[in-house]
Structure 1
């Protein structure tokens, strides 16, 4: 009866174990298929995820152009299926994010277009795109939606870069045209400064000549002053001799009429000389006007100086001619005196003495006239020889020339008046001789007074000449300063001319450079700047779906769980002693049974992934072979642990599972993990199974593949051999303990 119950129990247990084993066979498939199926292509279904878009932007006009960037973006998003865009108001969007209606919201503020439009004018005030997500609802999607917001930001940035670059290039073309205009204008300026520089050189040279001429004029006027001094001395002697003449004039009654006629001629000559000086539009008047014109037109006086030379020369010739006439009148007086000598019979000896004294006076007058006439002519030559060159500017110093000329004219006129007064007084005195010799003596005093006045007039003339010489010195000093200023001006104009040349060359070079380099249109450049780089995606080992990227991790995890459950079932059978088969109870026999079971698991998993999810490998057989190989390696590790530690291998397997989940780099690169996990990564088999599956799915690196397979084989044989040795040692120790206990019991 008990034997029948035992058989029933074993049969029932085998059925249970068979059912469990069949279920376990599908655990890897269910784990991978369901989990990967749920996340196989999440990016392809984002169009079903609601995201609110709020456009508060207001249109803005700038430089005649209307900006509606918020509206433009809204139109683009209506044709965009990256998310399920819903265009709502701000309050509804905020409420939807705070609750569960929307995963995120993107807000375009009202001053968005305004700030971006003003950036083309240099007002760089960045507008904001407001992004608000409910990260607590789904953190992964918040990252994806943030990428969407950054994509919108990138689109707008490209648009603004395009617009700003277009404006900048258009302005560069304006600068190019302005540089051309400036270059052309600078060419004309440089030509002008060159002419100004050349003219200033000529001005400096001519001012030096004018300075030398003024010095010579001063020397001539000094000589003329010396001659006037001699004339004054001669007139003093004549005044002294007039007293002697008065004593002999009584004897000149008979010849006095002729003397009166001669004096009348002298009066006429002096009157003509004065008239010549004071004549309107005469030589002296022209000299005065010319000096005034010299003062008013100092910068344009090249021709005025020639006229001045002619006027001064003519006036000096006139003065010399007048003095020569005075000398001729003295000769006439001398002849009349000679004739009177012959006619006077009363006291002829005394008459001869008086006439001799008169001749002495006329000799002095002729001598003085000759000296003054020659010096005036010499002064004429000095003026004409040294002021014939054109002078462009005499500045404020030309006023002194006008004042000197006017003063000379006034002094000369006053002197001639005094000479006329003296001559007329002499003429009046001589006229009285006709009334009688008795009155001649008394009138001789008039002659004496006239000679005194003539002497005074000569002194005035000398003073005027001194003033003219002094004024000429001032003129020479002014011309010297003007000459130095002209040299400085010439030097500075040279510097200015060099600067204008450099500026002209710089403008031309700048225009040439910008003209040579500015070969693109604003539209072409704006398109280039908005998208300057094309991304040439030359990635290798392409992964098409999100699920494919996670598949290596979940395939390894599923096969580990499947192998762990198979090993658990085999351990349970062993512990319940349900198998009486000798082969099964052998180490290799049980291992072989487990290998067959995990192989079936691997094949079922590969079929489900390939057919159910469409998982493609580089070569489909590689996927099946790798699943089988991975299952065998994992089962070998667990079987070795079971052989070594028995039922305790199950918790050890779970610990290994946890370590491998966190350290195998199935999701993120292992370099992103802390040091502990990077160390563990090297010593767990799932690290290498994940690498192998990745290569089979996306691209095989044969040397890397063989290296990973070699490491997995090392894991497999290390755990199998180690488990077998530990099991053998453990059984040997157990037998020894049993034998020892039996011996002790028998004793």
Structure 2
């Protein structure tokens, strides 16, 4: 230990008495400070000088003029006016071609182009199929790494300002309209008009409910007709034309009242179509009987079976007619007006007669089948009897159809014509009750499909009319409340005398309040930990390059040869002294000269001292142990610590392998310690970082005192090989 102290005193004496040594040491001490100071000053407030970044803006907006208001609006021009008052960037107003070409050539850092349809898209965003407008943004990422991010923030700010101005303008217009409307509605003449409007609305609501009741009646009638048509469709396919003609009657209109009238016509047509289909189906039955008797041979049993099948189909038809008659009497009968009651009863009696005739036909067919099986029947007489029964059934059905067409149907059509008053009432109020309409589907040519759609449509119409009536009731109540309580005056008081101010507040209801936690003076102050760490590491590396780490023989006359441990410890003294001077100058300079305003100045100086001692020990030990290879290792560590220490970018945004090696780099803990000294200490993080930094001394001392002994021979051989090259 005594010899190490003598070596340190020898080195200190020679470094302070030799002019060249003084010059070299002064440079070693000053270089880290210059590196740190000027880098911090250069990055002091880079985002405060963005007004020097040139960004081109081209407006190709053609404006917009609506059909309602014959006034052309050009939002692009309003955006340019706003930019002229914005000093965040150097905005240059130019043409589209010049903006794009200037960005490519580097004349502009970025370019914003407002498209020709900019105003049109902005003013029609609420329409169906409307598209959001977009601003074309061009950036030259080759010119600078940071500038594109700054210009992109500027472009985002432009978009945000346009949206806020647009929202404020729409809000101001709407509030002014409400304010004007309030003044108008408080007028005496307007109050009288409101009372009349309220009465008219109540009248329309009553008409809508009456229409809903009628729609329910026709829905029940259509539901009763569906089973009959299904049976008739099974008996004869020729009923398609009649069903198609009937289905055309339910082709609906646009609004609720017209859709209801169409549903009435559809219901009437469906019943007539069903009767027509039954008549044609019995024509098919007659043809079938003719065919069976004409082809009668020895196989009378199979002919009898075929006649039984026809009888079964007739029985199904009878059951459908019975169900139709019962349904009509139970559901439609109670709601038929008195003016149509006699005609409705006539149709029911004709249906009863048709059922009886069909029952007689079915009995006759079963009797004919039994006679054929007994093999002693007069086929001619049986054939004439069956055909006569079919004719009677057709005549009964025709009679029912005639009674319906000439008696009940005109009354139902007259009843449906009363629904036209709904459309007249809605037109008088000036409101659209299109929500009460239901489109009638025409995707299928089947009468069964059309009837199903008609039933669904009439039910939907009923619900829509009830809903519309409820809405008119709400409107009536709202008009009465507005007229009686003066709510519009209260709304005017809320808006105030300046709707524009309220509209601006509505367009930006939330304002971001920034509350700094561990605040720093500037961006340069926040970058100081990184530049201090790099500057002191560079200073330690330069010291290892400029000062010899080996001690020539005879350096200390009269002293026995020094051991490797004494040499290692004694020579490090001058390195530690140089590092101490470097760190003192760097830390005091950033406080007094650069004025970074640290929260804990003395902790900053202490952190710089510890950093310098650890960094000089690391570089010194690596050079002592590995020679020139140790210098290369020191440079390699410097490269890793530039990004891996987390001084510039958060470690979480770096590649995973950088995050993995970061805790094992001394620069990481040095940056954290300096950052705590500048911004503020939290839960002892400053002392924890210093402790981790000091732990790097342990492996370096182990390498310097113990592990480098086996490497001495390898080191000497490598030096001899390098000298033999006459180049290194």
Normalised to the residue count of structure 1, the TM-score between the two structures is 0.51
Equivalent residue for 1:28? Answer: 32
**Structure 1 residue 129: deviation in Å?**
1.9
* Number of equivalences: 450
Structure-2 change in CA distance of 1:113 and 1:499 (3 Å): closer
Structure-2 change in CA distance of 1:600 and 1:172 (3 Å): same
Equivalent residue for 1:273? Answer: none
Structure-2 change in CA distance of 1:84 and 1:575 (3 Å): farther
Equivalent residue for 2:202? Answer: 187
RMSD, matched Cα = 5.0
SS of residue matched to 2:202: helix
Structure-2 change in CA distance of 1:197 and 1:60 (3 Å): closer
Alignment equivalent of 2:49, drawn from 45, 52, 55: 45
Structure-2 change in CA distance of 1:732 and 1:144 (3 Å): closer
Please state if 1:712 is matched with 2:693: yes
Equivalent residue for 1:118? Answer: 124
Structure-2 change in CA distance of 1:561 and 1:188 (3 Å): same
Structure-2 change in CA distance of 1:523 and 1:573 (3 Å): same
Alignment equivalent of 1:162, drawn from 168, 176, 196: 168
Please state if 1:67 is matched with 2:48: no
Moved more, 699-708 or 507-516: 507-516
Equivalent residue for 1:536? Answer: 513
Q: Kindly indicate which of the two structures has a greater share of residues assigned to helix.
A: 1
SS of residue matched to 2:65: strand
Please state if 1:151 is matched with 2:157: yes
Equivalent residue for 2:224? Answer: none
Equivalent residue for 2:622? Answer: 641
Equivalent residue for 1:655? Answer: 636
The structure number with the bigger radius of gyration is 1
Equivalent residue for 2:577? Answer: 596
C-alpha distance in structure 1 between counterparts of 2:711 and 2:156, whole Å: 64
Equivalent residue for 1:247? Answer: none
Equivalent residue for 2:657? Answer: 676
Segments of 5+ residues of structure 2 without an aligned counterpart are: 1-13, 186-192, 214-336, 344-402, 419-458, 717-728
Equivalent residue for 1:282? Answer: none
**Structure 1 residue 120: deviation in Å?**
5.2
Cα displacement string for residues 489-537 of structure 1 (whole angstroms, at most 9, x for unaligned residues): 9xxxxx9999977755454457879999996758677535522322122
SS of residue matched to 1:616: coil
Instruction: Verify the 8 A CA contact 1:183 1:507 in the aligned structure 2.
Output: no
Alignment equivalent of 1:551, drawn from 518, 525, 528: 528
C-alpha distance in structure 2 between counterparts of 1:513 and 1:540, whole Å: 52
Alignment equivalent of 1:132, drawn from 128, 138, 144: 138
Cα displacement string for residues 268-325 of structure 1 (whole angstroms, at most 9, x for unaligned residues): xxxxxxxxxxxxxxxxxxxxxxxxxxxxxxxxxxxxxxxxxxxxxxxxxxxxxxxxxx
C-alpha distance in structure 1 between counterparts of 2:103 and 2:662, whole Å: 40
SS of residue matched to 1:51: strand
Instruction: Verify the 8 A CA contact 1:644 1:723 in the aligned structure 2.
Output: yes
Equivalent residue for 2:228? Answer: none
Please state if 1:83 is matched with 2:89: yes
Instruction: Verify the 8 A CA contact 1:571 1:642 in the aligned structure 2.
Output: no
Instruction: Verify the 8 A CA contact 1:166 1:526 in the aligned structure 2.
Output: yes
Equivalent residue for 1:55? Answer: 59
C-alpha distance in structure 2 between counterparts of 1:130 and 1:581, whole Å: 82
**Structure 1 residue 70: deviation in Å?**
2.0
Instruction: Verify the 8 A CA contact 2:212 2:465 in the aligned structure 1.
Output: no
Equivalent residue for 1:333? Answer: none
**Structure 1 residue 695: deviation in Å?**
1.6
C-alpha distance in structure 2 between counterparts of 1:731 and 1:20, whole Å: 29
Please state if 1:622 is matched with 2:603: yes
Structure-2 change in CA distance of 1:506 and 1:686 (3 Å): same
Alignment equivalent of 1:605, drawn from 581, 586, 606: 586
Equivalent residue for 2:676? Answer: 695
Instruction: Verify the 8 A CA contact 2:521 2:596 in the aligned structure 1.
Output: no
C-alpha distance in structure 2 between counterparts of 1:502 and 1:129, whole Å: 44
Structure-2 change in CA distance of 1:532 and 1:730 (3 Å): same
Equivalent residue for 2:538? Answer: 561
Instruction: Verify the 8 A CA contact 2:59 2:76 in the aligned structure 1.
Output: yes
Instruction: Verify the 8 A CA contact 1:643 1:726 in the aligned structure 2.
Output: no
Cα displacement string for residues 326-360 of structure 1 (whole angstroms, at most 9, x for unaligned residues): xxxxxxxxxxxxxxxxxxxxxxxxxxxxxxxxxxx
Equivalent residue for 1:288? Answer: none
Instruction: Verify the 8 A CA contact 2:611 2:670 in the aligned structure 1.
Output: yes
Equivalent residue for 1:431? Answer: none
**Structure 1 residue 134: deviation in Å?**
2.1
- Which residues in structure 2 correspond to 1:125-524 (within 5 Å)? 125-164=131-170, 185-189=200-204, 394=339, 504-509=469-474
C-alpha distance in structure 2 between counterparts of 1:42 and 1:581, whole Å: 60
